[in-house]
A and B are shown apart, each in its own frame.
Chain A
């Protein structure tokens, strides 16, 4: 698995260096679903995530040589995705943000049953988190990454990641206890 991953990464670097038109497809196959999950969790919208993912792939093609020479390829892609997503969230008007229903968050049927009120509350609580904290929660809980992996992917100090997560959980706890 790791060998195949390395092989894919090497191929992407080579394609980025020569401006191969198949670069976008290669990046999608390597990290597309992961980036989609990150963007969907961060923005709360599947439509926005889809649009942003295509922007990420376009931007990756634009900075081909830099992408090819990136020390950590996945972190480079995450940085592009985060920059685009944060730009979009800044541009989005408050009313529009309020309309985002976070339907991307769903109950996991394999676990305890979840009532519709509880689901709505959790979606609202996640939407109310600052984006930096929300992204940490999304990566930790919904993408099942460790703090080390999140820190590596987002090129952040480990302490920053864990404190963001801790603050996010505190806010979620207050929000959920107040509403449920």
Chain B
């Protein structure tokens, strides 16, 4: 059988668009646009939260650093602090004479080496 497909096809048609197509399509467009607007807003919100958290972390780090620099001497020094990281004042409080303190200060950079008065490790600022 010799068929002409073009003629065959012309006996068919596309179904007519369903009723209310325009309203449904435009409603879907509005809904999709609204969803897109929300999605555009949320990255800005996320960026804001990230900025806030980063600023908080920086401030916390700054506070910790400032605290450790401004007052390295605890009011009641521990034994370990007295031995390993003493300030001149602490050495005096430990009962060292001014000469012993001066001797200790002379060797303050001699880490892990015995000084004339005390064996100590210096890890901080003496001033």
Contacts and interface: CB of A to CB of B under 8 A. Distances in A.
Contacts of B5: 169, 172-173, 176
Interface string A154-166: 0000000000000
A103 interface: yes
Given A28-B25, A177-B1, A172 B14 contact: no
B22 A46 contact: no
A148 interface: no
Nearest to A106: B15
B44 interface: no
Question: Binding site of B, secondary structure by majority: helix, strand, loop or mixed?
Answer: helix
Contacts, number: 98
28 contacts: A24-B30, A36-B17, A36-B21, A37-B17, A40-B14, A40-B15, A41-B14, A46-B15, A54-B25, A54-B29, A55-B32, A57-B25, A57-B26, A61-B29, A104-B14, A105-B14, A106-B15, A108-B10, A111-B11, A114-B11, A114-B12, A122-B9, A137-B9, A141-B9, A142-B13, A173-B4, A173-B5, A180-B3
* A-B interface, 9 closest residue pairs, ranked by CB to CB distance from nearest: A54-B28, A172-B5, A108-B13, A24-B29, A173-B5, A142-B14, A111-B11, A141-B9, A57-B29
